[in-house]
Amino acid sequence: MALFEGLSGRLQGALNRLRGKGRVTEKDIKEMMREIRMALLEADVSFKVVKDFTNKVTEKAIGEEVLKSLTPGQQVIKIVNDELCSVLGVSQSRLTFSNKPPSVFVLAGLQGAGKTTACGKLAGILKKQGKKPLLVACDIYRPAAIKQLKVLGDAYGVPVFSADEGVGPVEIAERSLVHAQTLGSDVIIIDTAGRLHINDELMDELIEIKRVVKPQEILLTVDAMTGQDAVNVAETFNERLGIDGIIISKLDGDTRGGAALSVRAVTGKPIKFIGMGEKPDPDTLEPFYPDRMASRILGMGDVMSLIEKAQTMYDEEEAAKLEKKIRTQEFSLEDFLSQIKQIRKMGPLTELLGMIPGMGKMNVPDDELSEKSLNHVEAIINSMTPYERRNPYVLNGSRKKRIAAGSGRNIQEVNQLLKQFDEMKRMMKSFSGGMFGKKGKMNIPFLKGR
């Protein structure tokens, strides 16, 4: 399922009618804005946000400079993109840290929003950045919440502070300050309790924790899949508690995206991270870039995020080895299998396609590009012996028959894979000089200069 799938398709459809037009009338603008308004409302974007957005775009788009310009369609698309960036937050908002450690971050939100998971991932991110985080278990009401945090702590190699039964969350938070000094922790991440709905008991507890620990930032975790409810929750928490930033969880499960487009505009507080999956991997809690998200929604790709994902998967030494193998024609099916596994670590293929300009709106048949097809390729290669993977030219009829039986595929699929592999080797050899720069760094020509 693609991020913002429904909204993205509708907005791109509305804008494509203007793209490349030599002449745009006020009527064209109003028809486009009517479609955009409906698309945003159907995506569960707040009515007030939709109204403000469409009014601003319309006002700028029907200006004389736009309608009489040489490329009015492109000008209107730029206006929509700029206003979408403005709604989402203009520029990235990073975490701030106290001049005098430890920096305390309190994660708040309703039960089920994904606070505990976000705490663990945030700790993992900060540890990778060289910080020494401490996780603090202040959710003493939800069964297994403390255990869940400890499991996450173990997964990320981050200590977890909790207290004996009977100690209240405010006291636990206060004790964690002393414990952090003992461990030499420079960051404290407090996992607070949630409720099924906002009530005075919840707010009083959070306000008291805030008073005791004096947090550097209070981060509200909202579930993208709750749509308009996420916006209402964010607005209420901000009014009663005062928040500094927002984490939107489960965004990969919401094709509409209304929450992401509304919470920042309604609260005035920045979205700092977006959760893209429940796996215990800090890379699935991503920094939020408003301009990149606007670009993806409008089908213009997100090249920078794609490059960053690739860079986290490839180190210079491995890339240099791969380049050498390509240049000397030693690239084998073992290397091919390794590359498939690296690509899969970057995320779902449909999501990666959405980051390439113009590719997000392509209808690629499931049988051509899917997780299932990659599973089949892996099964075929894994059914070969190490010798066969390194020397595919030895694969005669009987060997292919054995591989097909072992992988649960047919001989035609084995032959097709070998043919594609040969074609890929030839193509990679011809491009090898341009694919890698000095020291084996990835250098993708069509991404340069964007």
Segment 3-34, tens digit of pLDDT: 566 677 778 777 777 766 667 888 888 888 88
Task: Measure the CA–CA gap between 6 and 40, rounded to whole angstroms.
Answer: 10
Answer yes or no: is pLDDT of 441 > 70: no
pLDDT average, residue stretch 365-394? 79
pTM score > 0.85 for this model?
no
Q: Where does 62-199 have alpha helices with state H?
A: 64-67, 72-88, 115-128, 145-156, 169-183
Contact residues for 139 (Cβ-Cβ < 8 A; gap 6+): 115, 116, 145, 146, 149, 169, 191, 192, 193, 194
Examine the domain organization and report whether 21 and 71 are in the same domain: yes
Least confident span in 263-272, 370-379, 389-398: 370-379
Higher pLDDT, 43 or 188: 188
Examine the domain organization and report whether 314 and 214 are in the same domain: no
CB 19 within 8 A of CB 73: yes
CATH code for the domain of 61:
1.20.120.140
Task: Measure the CA–CA gap between 42 and 216, rounded to whole angstroms.
Answer: 37
Examine the domain organization and report whether 352 and 294 are in the same domain: no
Higher pLDDT, 243 or 81: 243
Least confident span in 68-72, 222-226, 317-321, 390-394: 317-321
Examine the domain organization and report whether 243 and 377 are in the same domain: no
Number of domains comprising the chain = 3
User: Which domain-ending residue is among 53, 88, 123?
Assistant: 88
Residue-averaged pLDDT of the chain: 80
Higher pLDDT, 304 or 41: 41
pLDDT at 8: 77
CATH code for the domain of 397:
1.10.260.30
Answer yes or no: is pLDDT of 185 > 90: yes
Q: Where are the beta strands (DSSP E) in 196-270?
A: 217-223, 245-249
Higher pLDDT, 355 or 166: 166
Instruction: Compute the chain's Rg from CA coordinates.
Output: 26
pLDDT at 108: 95
Examine the domain organization and report whether 177 and 252 are in the same domain: yes
Give domain status of residue 97, yes or no. Answer: no
User: Which domain-ending residue is among 38, 54, 88?
Assistant: 88
- In Å, what is the CA distance from 445 to each residue of 431, 432, 435? 10, 11, 7
Examine the domain organization and report whether 292 and 328 are in the same domain: no
Cis, bond preceding 102 (omega within 30 deg of 0): yes
Give domain status of residue 222, yes or no. Answer: yes
pLDDT at 421: 83
pLDDT at 78: 83
Higher pLDDT, 66 or 81: 81
Higher pLDDT, 216 or 228: 216
Examine the domain organization and report whether 253 and 323 are in the same domain: no
pLDDT average, residue stretch 311-331? 64
Task: Measure the CA–CA gap between 55 and 155, rounded to whole angstroms.
Answer: 48
pLDDT at 271: 92
pLDDT at 378: 87
Give domain status of residue 95, yes or no. Answer: no
Examine the domain organization and report whether 259 and 362 are in the same domain: no
Give domain status of residue 395, yes or no. Answer: yes
User: Residue 190: which of 128, 156, 140 has the closest Cα?
Assistant: 140
pLDDT at 385: 93
Domain of residue 320 covers: 306-447
pLDDT average, residue stretch 258-265? 81
pLDDT at 297: 77
Answer yes or no: is pLDDT of 1 > 50: no
Per-residue confidence at 244, pLDDT binned at 50, 70, 90? very high
Which structure tokens are listed for 365?
Answer: 């048949």
Strand partners, 248: 222, 274
Which structure tokens are listed for 115?
Answer: 């606070």
CB 36 within 8 A of CB 298: no
pLDDT at 445: 36
End-to-end Cα, the chain, rounded Å: 26
Examine the domain organization and report whether 285 and 321 are in the same domain: no
pLDDT at 367: 42
pLDDT at 70: 62
Residues in the chain: 450
Examine the domain organization and report whether 369 and 290 are in the same domain: no
User: Which domain-ending residue is among 37, 61, 88?
Assistant: 88
Residue reference for tokens 């074609």: 423
Give domain status of residue 98, yes or no. Answer: no
Give domain status of residue 34, yes or no. Answer: yes
Q: What are φ and ψ of residue 187, in 5° steps? A: -140, 135
User: Residue 378: which of 351, 425, 413, 412 has the closest Cα?
Assistant: 413
Give domain status of residue 156, yes or no. Answer: yes
User: Residue 231: which of 258, 270, 254, 194 has the closest Cα?
Assistant: 258
pLDDT at 365: 45
Examine the domain organization and report whether 225 and 179 are in the same domain: yes
Per-residue confidence at 219, pLDDT binned at 50, 70, 90? very high
Answer yes or no: is pLDDT of 300 > 80: no
Examine the domain organization and report whether 174 and 321 are in the same domain: no
Give domain status of residue 338, yes or no. Answer: yes
CATH code for the domain of 178:
3.40.50.300
